[in-house]
Amino acid sequence: MRRPRARLAVLVSGRGTNLQAILDATRDPDYPAEVVVVVSDRPGAYALERARQAGVPAYVVPWRKDPKEFGVRLAEVLERHGAQWVCLAGFLRILDPEFVERYRGRILNIHPSLLPAFGGKGMYGERVHQAVLQAGVRESGCTVHFVTAEVDAGPVVAQVRVPVLPDDTVETLARRVAEQEHRLYPEAIRRVVTGEVRFEELAQSRR
């Protein structure tokens, strides 16, 4: 008998291209997860429209400079929809430690570099690619990792490497990294929800 699909909540702040990659993957009946709710901190995020087009409930939980209050209101929405896993997909807020602890080992994020390089507070989107180009490194990529209280420092689930070309701009590098993100994230989610990759095992191996 087929096991029930894992129930995903996806948190978004922008266009939602990684959300779309996840939604596309879930169309396969053999994919082991489904998106049950999408939440944004920004009412104008196009990702919300992507969710609605896919028939997925979409909500806005406005950010009011109080991470703890935001975490409480966010958890209420997730609990209402029975979300088991939380996937950050271009979500630009730092989650409150109490929220992170509540979903310990069940929150994933995708970052546009090879963590731990070019990660941490304030490093997101084009800022990351600009820093990569300024550093003159020959290789970048993307990382899916578990979320912990320390920004971009949780155990790594999977990475893909992307060469940095001599004539790269922020836009060209961002585009090629994003292409790999859209492949990597659904696969990393699959590995995690099926138990192929486990938070506790990864965390223990780092000690």
Q: Which of 88, 81, 5, 73 has its CA nearest to residue 37? A: 81
User: For the chain, how far is it from start to end, CA to CA, in angstroms?
Assistant: 38
Query: Whole-angstrom Cα distance, residue 7 to residue 189?
Result: 11
81 catalytic per annotation:
no
Residue that is written with structure tokens 């965390």 in the block: 203
Residue that is written with structure tokens 């970052």 in the block: 111
Q: Choose the catalytic residue: 81, 111, 129, 145.
A: 111
Half-sphere exposure of 176 (CA within 13 A, CB side): 15
Q: Cβ(152)–Cβ(116) under 8 Å?
A: yes
Amino acid identity for residue 4 in this structure: P
Catalogue the active-site residues.
Answer: 111
